[in-house]
Structure 1
């Protein structure tokens, strides 16, 4: 069986190649930053392990044996390949490059990723950003993602989670036309008399329960209605078409309320809650590409 390379044995081979190229123990020791005696011991250990002499040496000269020449012939290109591989890895440290795989809830992607993606790509042409936009709750690690942006309520405990963009509020909203025809509910329970446009998490069978705040406590209300969608854009489009009442965040509706296209209701029962979080696995050394992406998203959230 051919001998295998383990532990310090790689250093022995590297030492041998350096001596064989320099044909001098003194020069090789200087190049490697070790003492000549330590270098000699390393070469002896390698020869003993292989059971053959690799170098003929006297007080004045060093020469390769036939076995040493054969070993050098095979080792030199291998060492060059290893050196090139290490240089490639170092480039990842010095110049952000490689692929960053991102999983983002749809609203988070529209708010924090879409505005910065073009500028980021121009700033870091060596980075590939692979974005999956999906409201489904996924396992970041097993799914192969480097980072996710998701609501705080579905953050995994073993993840590093950084809040971005501030708190959110959800309110029932409807068009002036719908309100003129069906009236405004005075309490959350009165929503049961209205056609509510419901949203469902991707991968879930039941629609999302609407959450309200009263007397210091949160409570859920299971509303009814003729439309269920797992896409929040579709949910809002149906609401804007006077189909019913939707339950949406301030980020989704503030501009529509300001334009007079939607009316916010039951404000007294709505309380701010933690919004979106950047989530990524704990790691000793973060890849520069991932660090650059996270910093860019946080900057976008800060100015959003």
Structure 2
């Protein structure tokens, strides 16, 4: 009875789940068999209190200011990519606004239902581009496959496409316009009611990289 036990419910995106959270938590569950973990994959924003979650995982810039937030991963960035076949008879975009002339693979936001507006930044200049194209997904993973098969330009987390870029299957575009940003945080409303099981999960996810000095934000 002295071992942490109970259920921890977390809402998070598919990319956070597969690239970061599951690899970190899988061994924890083997070590703590009395902890039950419910991971709800949702690429929109959920009200974790109203919807009955113990915590959410989102990018640092998306976390509400009244939440306690703990960094769980490094900075990362999005990259615009396309296959060599797609680019063979089309001009390379040199500026984000030129993307409107291309067939872009869109991402549907669960919250609000609109398309994700691609965000870029260079030398302090921020730019948002509303792209258009034949395909729309609500997950990053099929977008990778669509880009590989020449269906257009996709805007994706770098870790999902780095291997394909290195192998020449995809070409990175507009890299100077894609600086890193704050990575994933786990956030929750109050630390006063945290169970031992919840503390185990947070501690296992906590990021210990170079940017960990800014890893926790109190409400």
> What is the TM-score normalised by the length of structure 1?
0.65
1:150 corresponds to which of 45, 55, 58: 58
Corresponding residue of 1:268: 176
Corresponding residue of 1:254: 162
Q: Aligned equivalents of 1:165 and 1:179: distance in 2?
A: 33
Q: Name which structure has the greater RCO, CA cutoff 8 Å, separation 6+.
A: 2
The answer to whether the aligner puts 1:101 opposite 2:9 as a matched pair is: yes
Q: Would the aligned equivalents of 2:25 and 2:205 in 1 still touch at CA under 8 Å?
A: no
Deviations 1:61-93 (A, max 9, x none): xxxxxxxxxxxxxxxxxxxxxxxxxxxxxx4xx
Q: Would the aligned equivalents of 2:70 and 2:206 in 1 still touch at CA under 8 Å?
A: no
- Kindly report structure 1 stretches of 4+ aligned residues shifted beyond 6 Å: none
Q: Pairwise mapping of residues 155-304 of structure 1 onto structure 2 (< 5 A)?
A: 155-298=63-206
- SS of 1:238's partner is helix
Q: Would the aligned equivalents of 2:67 and 2:187 in 1 still touch at CA under 8 Å?
A: yes
Q: Aligned equivalents of 1:195 and 1:297: distance in 2?
A: 38
Q: Would the aligned equivalents of 2:25 and 2:201 in 1 still touch at CA under 8 Å?
A: no
Deviations 1:266-295 (A, max 9, x none): 112222211211111213242110011111
Size of the aligned set, in residue pairs, is: 210
Q: Aligned equivalents of 2:40 and 2:130: distance in 1?
A: 30
Q: Aligned equivalents of 1:252 and 1:152: distance in 2?
A: 20
- SS of 2:71's partner is strand
Unaligned runs of 5+ residues in structure 1 are 1-90
Q: Aligned equivalents of 2:117 and 2:46: distance in 1?
A: 20
